[in-house]
Structure 1
Amino acid sequence: MSAPRLPPPEDYVTPFTDHVYAVKHGVELRLRVWPSASPDPAPWVLWSHGGAWLFGLHEDPTAWVVPGFHARGYHVVSFTYRYAPIANIEDILTDGRDAHAWCVAHLPNLLRVDIERYVLAGDSAGGHLATTLAQLVSPPPRAVLSDHGLVDLADAHYDTLRFSGSYTGEFGPEEIEAAIQDRDYTRAFASVPEETRAKWPLGEVRRAFHAPRVQYGRREQLQADVKTALAERGAWVAAVLHPERFSSSEQLKAYARKWSPLHMLDAAPSYPPTFFIHGEADNIVPTAQSRAFAAKLRARGVAVGGHYEPGEGHCYDEKFTSPNVEGYTRCVVACLDFIGAHVART
């Protein structure tokens, strides 16, 4: 959950450059590069944002990510991807692979970068992308950050989890249902502000994140109502799997396991060192998912680090808007130290 405020524009580290890494069915897929000030070839981070695969802004990474990694000399790249329910998990992972490939091909022309020293990182649904892409891309990352990452799509937790959204739009049940069933890729979204951002005037959102392309009109409101409807049904995870393609719940579960990094790991020849951030009171992505993934990695001899904060909920680290916030050192500094040790030039 993002902090319920808009940052002043100076909170978002500049300079940056914006790029289109792909156009699919007429939908632009963009990424933002925040360059390091390091005079030497620097490592880089590829960040995938959260939002239940249904919403989010790539211009709005978790509050500490850009300043925290910049302080350690990293370039930071954040990318967008097409959202469910139009796109499915394979479409979204393909977008992630394409963003990674664009970076490998083009960052050396833009920056002083050590292209093989990089980190895959993301929060929530973006944590799923990071931990899955680590098993799909080459060269592999030196380290992975799973920030409240959803690593088991087949978790029985999602068979019963329901929560109420705050959107009530102008759309009737038939329009919402039609949007849930829509598979027209020309209408896919790759940018929709979440609730705490959409409550603010659009001009303020654009100014805060230096993002003049952000829209919040009738179509985006419909996507928000789709997200609310799916959440109330407990179907937001299923939506990214396109359940209509399967004739039984067993087939759907098997497909969910196929694209769950926790289960993919069983067949992976290797995996990078990984750090986990998770609030112990997270009721959206159970902490048990991170712990199970970490246990599998340790059993394989992979270096693992983590910070599990008692009493905190989903994506609680959004509160770390500066190093002065209580808990920053034990969470963020510990994470950056772990990653730095494994990304260091060898």
Structure 2
Amino acid sequence: MIQEQLIERTYTYKVVESVNIQADVFRKSDERIRPVIVWIHGGCLMGGSRTNLGKQELMKYVEEGYAVVSIDYRLSPQVMLKSIIEDLQDAFRWVREQGPALFQIDPDRLAVIGSSAGGYLTLMAGFCVEPKPVALVSFFGYGDVAGKWYAEPDDHYCKQPPASREENLYLYCRQNGLWPNIVAGHDPKTEPRAFDPYCPVRNVTEAYPPTLLLHGDNDTDVPHEQSVIMAEEFARVGVAYEFVSYPGAGHGLGANYSDAVNKTVAFLRKYLQ
């Protein structure tokens, strides 16, 4: 596709205390009503941006015929997880209510794609967003934010020099098992039920959307097991899903990423076309 055939626009979908929370929209420059992908960036809920969507991946989705909406959301520790989820819900509400007029999409053909923390928010969208998306794709995401992997010191990160909260908050959290406390404002050891609304693995029902899970089995940031436990829940209740495990791949999938995008396109063809 030549650049002139691509429309790119930025919208403010929400304003909080004079801060504009924005979304970038990409689509072919025609008037055809198109299915839509909401893309959610990663960054441990502490960093990242809607601009992190890679050009090759974006163009793959646009050439396939989708409009793509890449959203920002507020980040921790400036806000707690509850507020991040509210941003997620408001973004989907805006896409459904305003998208048809603003960028010619069919809100009933809506899928979600996200990586890492964006994969977590994608899985959250499977039960905290109404109407539910048609399909979900989680690139090395996670379903349990209160599990030992996040709530206890991590062996991989503890091999690195100790970090202070001020110099590297994420590393500090992983070395001390404090990510759930700082991001959600609750201690999973003393308040385990406080995490029920924020753990996709605790909220899988028969109504959960069809889901594609993509994960490397040598991921030292988000354990491969996080996709395994989601797959087990899907199988238990009868949710349609596919789980692609990449042997030897670490966080981000490395050279396997383009294959994961191709598998994503094939998966979405089943539900959005």
- Name the TM tier (shorter chain): 0.7 to 0.9
Instruction: Identify the match of residue 334 of structure 1 among 256, 260, 263.
Output: 263
> Across the two proteins, how many residue pairs are aligned to each other?
269
The separation in 1 between residues aligned to 2:226 and 2:137, in whole angstroms, is 14
Counterparts in 2 of 1:1-346, with a 5 A limit? 14-37=6-29, 40-62=32-54, 64-158=56-150, 159-161=152-154, 163=157, 176=166, 225-243=168-186, 249-251=189-191, 253-265=192-204, 268=205, 270-316=207-253, 328-329=258-259, 331-344=260-273
Closer/same/farther in 2, CA of residues 327 and 262 from structure 1, 3 Å limit: closer
The structure with the greater share of residues assigned to strand is: 2
Tell me, yes or no, if the aligned pair for 1:120 and 1:141 is still in contact at 8 Å: yes
SS of match in other structure, 1:16: strand
Letter in 1 for 2:247: P
Report which of the two structures shows the higher radius of gyration computed on alpha carbons: 1
Tell me, yes or no, if the aligned pair for 1:305 and 1:335 is still in contact at 8 Å: no
Aligned-residue offset at 1:39? 5.1
The separation in 2 between residues aligned to 1:143 and 1:107, in whole angstroms, is 18
SS of match in other structure, 2:52: coil
The separation in 2 between residues aligned to 1:145 and 1:80, in whole angstroms, is 18
Closer/same/farther in 2, CA of residues 168 and 56 from structure 1, 3 Å limit: farther
Aligned-residue offset at 1:50? 0.6
Aligned-residue offset at 1:343? 1.5
**Identity across aligned pairs (percent)?**
25
Match of 1:7 in 2: none
Closer/same/farther in 2, CA of residues 122 and 303 from structure 1, 3 Å limit: same
The separation in 2 between residues aligned to 1:65 and 1:115, in whole angstroms, is 22
Closer/same/farther in 2, CA of residues 237 and 107 from structure 1, 3 Å limit: same
SS of match in other structure, 1:150: coil
The separation in 2 between residues aligned to 1:94 and 1:165, in whole angstroms, is 35
* Structure 1 ranges of 4+ moved more than 4 A: 164-169
Closer/same/farther in 2, CA of residues 286 and 66 from structure 1, 3 Å limit: same
Closer/same/farther in 2, CA of residues 29 and 327 from structure 1, 3 Å limit: closer
Aligned-residue offset at 1:38? 6.0
Q: Which runs of 5+ in 1 are unaligned?
A: 1-9, 177-223, 320-325
Letter in 1 for 2:212: F
Closer/same/farther in 2, CA of residues 144 and 343 from structure 1, 3 Å limit: same
The separation in 2 between residues aligned to 1:327 and 1:28, in whole angstroms, is 32
Q: Which runs of 5+ in 2 are unaligned?
A: none
SS of match in other structure, 1:85: coil
Letter in 2 for 1:87: V
